[in-house]
Chain A
């Protein structure tokens, strides 16, 4: 189903449908994550991928045009690049352990150590939260900073806070500059 949705995204010209389909794609991959027992990731994917980013894409769509221009060039080179990359990825998955295999790196590497230490040191039932917020606290702080920086960047580009200041100075040539 993921593949079908992806193909539909590629083939459809109406960008409104494409945005909606990419939301569907996110929701389907969330289901895939649930099958892999990564509930937290699935949750994030469903909330961010299917929810917020669809809304933001629709917001962008409202600013730009509603349909894709038809491509004149034959897409041979891009197709080749995509095929080679895809083949490399499939080749990479050949080394992956089988689904649910007990000697996968996820089960044998640092995972067991965390599961041993968390009840003693953190005592939080959700191991993902414990690792995210405590053992990997710096990383999460960094992620928060990234979100913060991204937000500030969008605000500076889009919100028109700077524009208002410029309008006070009667600068004529900044209309539609930063879209």
Chain B
């Protein structure tokens, strides 16, 4: 899509906004609709749009596949690790009160934030990885194919 000037300019403008929106959905999920799943998908959509309009190589330079694979596992580790952390301090698995024992409510806030971050990280990783897997196999299409 080298000659699609409008698409490329608009994408450049939008990608940053999409990432910002994803972060907003991620960390504002306590107060407004949204959370890890949605934020992860939006974040991945940012990468995918970049990959579609520019080339797959460009987006792979930004977010290399080995990093994607690590990120996929990292999210689950963050989530499960939170549970194990609370086990070590004698609380139940995934009992967020452990994070701030004097103010269990604050602990809940932080716990939810961390866990949602784990969800978001995994979802982003998986979506981008799936996109890479599909896009890498497809022969690059000419514009007239569509």
Contact = CB atoms under 8 A, between A and B. Distances in A.
* Interface SS majority for chain A: helix
A117 B104 CA distance: 14
Contacts of B69: 155
Kindly state the interface size class of chain B when it binds its partner. Answer: 35 or more
B124 to A, nearest CB: 10
Given A40-B33, A134-B112, A63 B138 contact: yes
A57 to B, nearest CB: 10
B123 to A, nearest CB: 6
Interface string B129-140: 111111111110
* Interface SS majority for chain B: helix
Interface stretch (A4-12, A71-79, A93-101, A122-130): A122-130
A41 to B, nearest CB: 9
A47 B33 CA distance: 13
A51 B41 contact: yes
B11 interface: no
B141 interface: yes
5 contacts: A59-B131, A128-B33, A130-B30, A137-B83, A148-B73
Interface of A: 16, 39-40, 42-44, 47-48, 51-52, 55-56, 59-60, 62-63, 121-126, 128-130, 132-134, 137-138, 140-141, 143-145, 147-148, 150-152, 154-155, 157-160, 179
